[in-house]
Each structure stands twice: as C-alpha cells, then as structure tokens.
Amino acid sequence: MTGRLAGKIALVTGVGGGIGAVAAARFAAEGARVVGCDLDADGAARTERDVRAAGGDIHVMGGVDLGDAEQARAWVDAAVAVHDGIDVLYNNASTQRFAALDVLSVEDWDFTMRNELDLVYYTVRAAWPHLRSTGGGSIVNVGSIAAIRGVEFMPQNAHSTAKGGVIALTLQLVVEGGPHGIRANVISPGLVETPNTAPMLADPPERLRRLVLDRIPLGRHGRPEDVVNAAVFLASDESSWVSGAHLVVDGGGSVLG
C-alpha cells in the first residue's frame, strides 16, 4: 500500500462483512485510523480482529443501529472521541427489502427507507458539526445503479427510491458543505459479489445472466475491491477538488440502457 490515507481519521459504517469489511481493511492498510460500526456485533468484532492482526489501526463498535437517530449520534460522537476528530465519513451501511410494487408491504417500504436513506442522513447530521469544527473533510456515500435506471431482473422499487434519495442528499451536502471545506461524493455500484449475492452469482438464473451479466461490457460482475478502490480515491487528498461527483462502478453496464 502507498499510504494514500496516512494520518486520516476515517469513520466507516457497516464493517461487519462484505464491502464494508474490505473497506475497513483497505483504509487501515492505506494508513487511516479507522473507527467502524455494524449492527452485527459478531461481524464487527471479527473485522476488528482481522484488521488489527494485519497491523491496522481500528476500533469497531458492534450492535449499532444507525437507523435510530440517537444511536447514530451516539456512535459518531464516540467514534470522533477515539481520535479527537474526523476526516472521512464513508456511509457504506445499507440493508433493504425487495418485492414487486403491489406485493411490497408498507412495513418493508419503511424498513428500506430507514435502513438505506434515513441512516445516511442521521449519520451525516451527527458528523456535520465535527467536520465543520475541524475545517472540513470527505463524505463518501453509496448509491446504486438502481437509482439511475430501471432494473429488469428484480423488483427494486424501494431500494431504487432510497438510493435516489442518497444521491440527491449528496448533491445538497456539496452546496451546504463547500463553505466549510466539506466535500461530498457518491459511488453507485452495479452488481457486486458479496456474502448476500455470492450464492446467486455462483449459479446465476438465466434471466439474471441474460439481462445483466451478459451485458456488462467489461465482462464480469463486480468485486468489493472495485467499490473500495473508488472510495479510497474519494477519501484521499487526490480528490481534494472533487465534490458532487457521482462515480458509477458497474463495468460499463449502465450505459447500455
């Protein structure tokens, strides 16, 4: 690693597995002092052990429900106190429910909004005064290609709406944060292999292969590292004049419409 995040204090959400665990390890390997959280206490503890074993500087708090505004604020305040500051907030945590529009329950819609959009707002809102007081920093949010196009192989109405909200919120953070040195950018991944998607990708249904996998110009689905590479750039000083970017990481699939 090249120390691209050397000395930075990075708050990373959803580090208990998948892309978040890879992000925590990579950020620490690049020299960041990472403070993470996850609702899954066991997964959070496992990531903390793994990163420390590799020589990384990390503290992880488990059992944190960022969809609760008070818990989000308490975690951010506790995280900032670990190193007395914050340079990067990477809003990776997300969970959702899928069903067709006339099947998805109101409870599942509310669950998805809470756990994909509300938790980003609550965490940013809690971090905002800390970022302002230290002269700014980088917010990296996670959207989805589902927010910019229809998805044929799976009904994603609530997910698409929530991630569209994350993208819109990010643009407003750019305007409100700029005078305080706060940058905000968003990454929208395509289909990435995670613990949740791995079984489906190991033996993809014909419809998924035909509509998605066979139409990715670069010829493969995504890996967590593909998303984390983009996050490292947006968290680093290399992107010091980048704010309001919407970086699509999908192998080129979304350009085919």
Residue 24 lies in a domain: yes
H, E, C per residue of the chain: CCCCCCCCEEEEECCCCHHHHHHHHHHHHCCCEEEEEECCHHHHHHHHHHHHHCCCEEEEEECCCCCCHHHHHHHHHHHHHHHCCCCEEEECCCCCCCCCCCCCCHHHHHHHHHHHHHHHHHHHHHHHHHHHHCCCEEEEEECCHHHCCCCCCCCCHHHHHHHHHHHHHHHHHHHHHHHHCEEEEEEEECCECCCCCHHHHHCCCHHHHHHCHHHCCCCCCECHHHHHHHHHHHHCHHHCCCCCCEEEECCCHHHHC
155-167 pLDDT per residue, tens: 889 999 999 999 9
Task: Yes or no: say if 30 and 42 are a contact pair by the CB < 8 Å rule.
Answer: no
What pLDDT score was predicted for residue 116? 97
Pick out the chain residues at pLDDT < 70. 1, 257
Residue 254 lies in a domain: no
Residue 120 lies in a domain: yes
Residue 21 lies in a domain: yes
The domain containing residue 225 runs over which residues?
9-249
What pLDDT score was predicted for residue 202? 81
Q: pTM for this structure? A: 0.95
What pLDDT score was predicted for residue 106? 97
Residue 114 lies in a domain: yes
Amino acid at position 92, single letter: N
User: What's the CATH code of the domain at 245?
Assistant: 3.40.50.720
Residue 1 lies in a domain: no
Strand 182-189 and strand 88-91: the pairing is unpaired
Residue 150 lies in a domain: yes
Residue 3 lies in a domain: no
Task: Residue 234: name the closest of 222, 224, 246, 251 by CA.
Answer: 246
What pLDDT score was predicted for residue 195? 83
What pLDDT score was predicted for residue 67? 98
How far, in Å, CA of 33 to CA of 24, rounded?
Answer: 10
How many structural domains are present in the chain? 1
